[in-house]
Chain A
């Protein structure tokens, strides 16, 4: 016996409902995405076992400009980063935040080729400003066989 084609039941289309859900998800991703507050080009060091920065962390940048001079930038995590005079100026900005939130994370973006003494000075100033939690930003070290990050 040959069965005929079973007709699909007529019903309301689910497409508008799916579209609405997908749009809501897209909106959620758009709103929850971590906002970037600094785009300074820095020759970051490489690491494999990296962890993600806490959303809203303050950002400190130590980079070289085109003339090869060290420049420092700072962001409180909400406003776009701005240039500051040096480690002491970074410390002043950091102290304002650390006084209110001592556990606030400070993300440090520094040139991997810089001598440690320059980072040492920055870390020293941050610590004296009351900062406790630091994240040393690194890019992914590819090709070393490790699997983390």
Chain B
């Protein structure tokens, strides 16, 4: 007697495979959009190239308040006080919160979008720069001596 046996199909189920692959693709696409490290670019200049002349000074006080060339301003309004083509020196008080510095750098990054020009260079002097400048000129040139001081 011959038994009727149903032979299993040898076909690869491509449709569920396609569904799965599309889901994987969408997952990677979406996750690559939302992941990734992002932040603000900063160039650390050579000590020799770091000079204080012909620059706009942005000072960040310990309480986070900001002044552009001695004129107190809101961090978001810094760009309005910049002169196109002029580099910027950002000097933060050692006790200012790091977030305050980032707010200033963020505002400088917005110059192109908000005012149509790019700040040619941003220099955040470090302690070595400050010490070197004091040795050269006898005072801290990054701490602006303003008329109201």
A132 to B45, CA, bound (A): 7
Q: Are A26 and B21 in contact (CB under 8 A)?
A: yes
A6 at the interface (CB under 8 A from B): no
**B interface residue count range (under 10 / 10 to 19 / 20 to 34 / 35 or more):** 35 or more
B99 at the interface (CB under 8 A from A): yes
Q: Answer whether residue B56 sits at the interface, using C-beta atoms and an 8 A cutoff.
A: no
- Shortest distance in angstroms between B104's beta carbon and chain A's nearest beta carbon? 10
A101 at the interface (CB under 8 A from B): no
Residues of B within 8 A of A107 (CB): 37, 39
The verdict on A46 contacting B21 (CB below 8 Å), with A113-B97, A137-B39 known, is no
Seen from chain B, the residues whose Cβ lies within 8 Å of a Cβ on chain A are 12, 14-15, 17-18, 21-22, 24-25, 28-29, 31-32, 35-45, 60, 76, 92-103, 105-106, 109-110, 113, 124, 126-128
Q: Which 6 A-B pairs have the closest CB atoms?
A: A117-B94, A29-B28, A49-B109, A124-B126, A45-B102, A50-B38
Q: Residues of A at under 8 Å CB distance from B?
A: 13, 15-16, 18-19, 22-23, 25-26, 29-30, 33-34, 36, 45-53, 57, 107-108, 110-121, 123-124, 126-128, 131-138, 140-141, 144, 146-149
